[in-house]
Amino acid sequence: MWPQTFFIIARSLQVSLEKGIDIADVLAAFNPGQLQRLLNAAQQGQLPAAAQAISPVLSQALTDQQSSTLTYNLDPNQPPDQLNLNQSRERQSPKYIDNVAYQVMVGVNLPGYFVYCNGQDLPIVIPWEYVNYSTNPVPAVDEVVYNDRSAALAQIAANPAAPRAAHAYFQAAGGFTAPTIFSFATAPHIVGMLQDALGRLQTEVQHELTIQALFLAGSVVANFASVAFGRNTGSAKPDPKGPSRPTPPTAGKPGSVGAMRLPKFEVGPVEGAGPGLKPPSPAAGQEAVENSLPVGSQLGPTRRVGVSRETGEIVDFTETGSDTHTLRGVVRQWDQLPPAAQNELVGAGYVTRGGRVVRDIEMVKRTARMNNFRRSVAPEEIRGAPPAEGSNVPGHAESKHGVPPEQQASVLSNLERVLNGVNENGREVDIYCKSVAVNKSNPQELIEMAVITEAGNKGSVITAYPRSASHWEGNVS
C-alpha cells in the first residue's frame, strides 16, 4: 500500500494547485527519487483520482529538477481536469544569481558568504541572515523584480495572501537578480555549495589539521563544486588590484616584539600651515604611529603613513626624530599622499577609497581581512614572519620544507581553502591549502600544499609544506 505520508503530500500539492498557489519551490525541495516515486504512484493508480491529476506537474518537475526553473499554477479558466503550466521568468533568467554562481567562500572572518559568479571578477557578498538551510517551501509572491531588497520585503509584508516564508525578487549587485531569502527552494545550487563548503571544512578541522582553537574560515574548491553540481567553474580570481603589501602588526604588549617594531612619535621643531611652512603636526601623533604602515622602500627607508581615529587625521611620517626609534610626521590631505601610501591605507581598511578615516575598529579589521584574502602575492613579496611573542624562532618561508616561493605565491594568490586558527605559540594564523602542480613534465600530477601565514598578512609566512609529506611535524611552529 502507498505510504500515508506520500499520499498526504500528493493531496496537498493538488489542493495547492486548485487554489492557484505556486508549488515550484515546494517541488524543488524533493530529490529526483522522491519525485519519481510520487509520479509512479500517480500513474499506476496508487493515489485517489483527485491526487492523480498532479502527474503532469510531477513529470515536468522531474525533467527540470536540475534547474528548478518552473512555476506551476492552475488557471481558474481552465477545465478542472486540465493543468496550465507557466514558467517562472526569473528562475530561468541568465541573470538569476543561482544560474550563474560557480563557487562560494565561507568564513567567520567575512561579513557574509562570498559567491563568485560568471562574468564577475569579484565575489558578491550574501549576508549571513539572507541564507536559510531549511528545505521547507518558500513560495514567490510575484514575478516582479524590485529595485532593492527592502522594496521586495515591503511587497511581501503588504500581501495578505503571502505565507510567512514567502520570497520576492530584487535587483542585486553585479546586475543579477536574487531572492530575498536563499534556501534550497529558491537557490538550490548556491545553498548546496555553501553546505558542502561547511561540511568539507569541518571535516578538515576535525581530522586533518592539528592546530589549536581552529575556526572555520575558508572556501570550497572550484572543482569540488563542479563535481557536486555539474558546473563549468574555472577558479576564483583574486583582485589583482588589491593592496600590494601586508597589513601592519599591532603594537602588542609593552616590551614585546610587536611593540618594539613600532617607533614613538616626536613633535617636529617646525610647525604651521602658512605659505612656506610645513603642514601642521598631528594632534594625536602617537595614535597615528600605532595605526601606521610602512610605505614602499622606494619612498624612503623610514617612511610610514598612519591615521588617528580620534581626530580623523591622516599623518605622513617622513623623518626620524632625536633617535632612530622616533618619528616626526605632518597632517596630509588625501590627495597630497602618493598612490603607494593611499593603497596601503585602503588595503589595511584604515580609510575608505575616498580618503575618509574609518573610526570603527571592527570595520577596519573586517575590511583588512577581506582585502588580504583577495589580493595577489608575488614570489618576491614573501618573507619569513617575525618570531611570535615569547619566541626567538622566525618564520621559515625560504623553502625549508621544499616549497619554493613560486609555489607559495600560487597557493596564496589562487584561493582554494583558507583556515584560521591559533598555533601553539598563541599567535593567530591563516592556513592556505591548495593542490599545486610540481612536475612540469606532468602538470596533471598535483600535490596538496599548505602555507601558514600571520593572520591577515599573506606576505608574512610562518611555514610552508606539502601536506602529504612524510616529515609532517604535528602542530605548526
Mean pLDDT is lowest, of 157-171, 291-305, 341-355, for: 291-305
Tell me the average pLDDT of the chain: 68
CB 397 within 8 A of CB 380: no
Predicted local confidence at residue 95, as pLDDT: 87
Q: How far apart are CA 174 and CA 170, in angstroms?
A: 12
Answer yes or no: are the C-beta atoms of 181 and 132 closer than 8 Å: yes
Radius of gyration of the CA atoms of the chain, in A = 28
Residue located via cell numbers 493538488: 14
Distance of CA 157 to the CA centre of its chain: 30
* pLDDT-wise least confident of 76-85, 97-106, 122-131, 140-149: 76-85
What was the pLDDT predicted at 373? 77
Condensed to tens digits (0 to 9), the pLDDT of residues 22-57 reads 666 566 656 566 667 777 777 766 666 655 667 777
What residues are paired with 315 via a beta bridge?
306, 331
**Grid cell for residue 11:** 493531496
Contact 177, 97 (CB under 8 A): yes
Q: Which carries the bigger pLDDT value, residue 457 or residue 390?
A: 457
pLDDT at 59 over 80: no
pLDDT at 356 exceeding the cut of 80: yes
Dihedral angle sign, alpha carbons of residues 107, 109, 115, 118: negative
257-303: pLDDT as tens digits: 333 445 788 877 654 444 555 678 888 888 888 888 887 644 444 57
Q: Which three cell numbers stand for residue 219?
A: 572556501
- Compute the distance between CA of residue 391 and CA of residue 189 in angstroms, rounded to an integer: 46
pLDDT at 31: 59
Residue 181 has φ and ψ, to the nearest 5°, of: -135, 130
Mean pLDDT of 448-475: 68
In whole angstroms, what is the distance from residue 89 CA to residue 22 CA? 13
Q: Alpha-carbon distance 433 to 416, whole Å? A: 6
In this prediction, residue 388 carries a pLDDT of 77
Q: Which of 4-13, 122-131, 267-276, 397-406 has the lowest mean pLDDT?
A: 267-276
Max mean pLDDT among 140-149, 259-268, 462-471 falls in 140-149
- pLDDT in the model for residue 182: 92
CB 236 within 8 A of CB 224: no
How far does CA 184 lie from the centroid of its chain? 19
Mean pLDDT (whole number) for 104-127: 73
**pLDDT over 80 at 131, yes or no:** yes
Angle between helices 339-347 and 361-374 (to 10 degrees): 110
The x, y and z cell numbers of residue 314, run together, are 591622516
Burial of 44 (0-12, 13-18, 19+ CB in 10 A): exposed
Q: How far apart are CA 87 and CA 96, in angstroms?
A: 14
Helix 32-43 vs helix 55-63: crossing angle, to nearest 10: 150
- Give the 3-state DSSP-derived string for 291-326, with helices as H, strands as E and coil as C: CEEECCHHHCCCCEEEEECCCCEEEEEEEECCCCCE
Distance of alpha carbon 397 from alpha carbon 385, whole angstroms: 8
pLDDT tens for 324-338 read 678 888 899 998 888
Q: What is the pLDDT of residue 263?
A: 73
Long-range CB pairs of 73-77, under 8 A, 24+ apart, other chains included: 73/17, 73/20, 73/21, 73/22, 74/17, 74/18, 74/19, 74/20, 76/20
Q: Of the ranges 108-112, 136-140, 453-457, which is most confident?
A: 453-457
DSSP 249: P
In three-state secondary structure terms, 415 is: coil
Mean pLDDT of 79-97: 58
- pLDDT score for 81: 39
**Hey, is 45 helix, strand or coil?**
coil
Residue corresponding to grid cell 617646525: 270
Q: What percent of the chain has pLDDT over 70?
A: 58
**C-alpha count within 13 angstroms, C-beta hemisphere, residue 83:** 27
Averaged over 196-215, what is the pLDDT? 47
Give per-residue pLDDT as tens, 217-254. 333 222 222 222 223 332 223 333 333 333 333 333 33
- The DSSP string of 193-210 is HHHHHHHHHHHHHHHT--
- CA gap 123, 104 in Å, rounded: 8
Element (H, E) at 116: strand 112-117
Q: Are 167 and 199 in contact (CB under 8 A)?
A: no
Find cell 568539507 and name the residue: 200
What is the pLDDT confidence band of residue 471, given thresholds at 50, 70 and 90? very low
72: three-class secondary structure by DSSP: strand
Higher pLDDT, 470 or 198: 198
Q: How far apart are CA 417 and CA 452, in angstroms?
A: 12
pTM over 0.85: no
- CA-based nearest residue to 347, from 329, 367, 326: 367
- Mean pLDDT over 205-217 rounds to 34
pLDDT at 308 over 80: yes
SS3 state of residue 428: strand
Higher-pLDDT residue of 384 and 248 is: 384
Burial of 220 (0-12, 13-18, 19+ CB in 10 A): buried
The residue ranges of every structural domain in the chain are: 4-87, 97-229, 257-374, 379-466
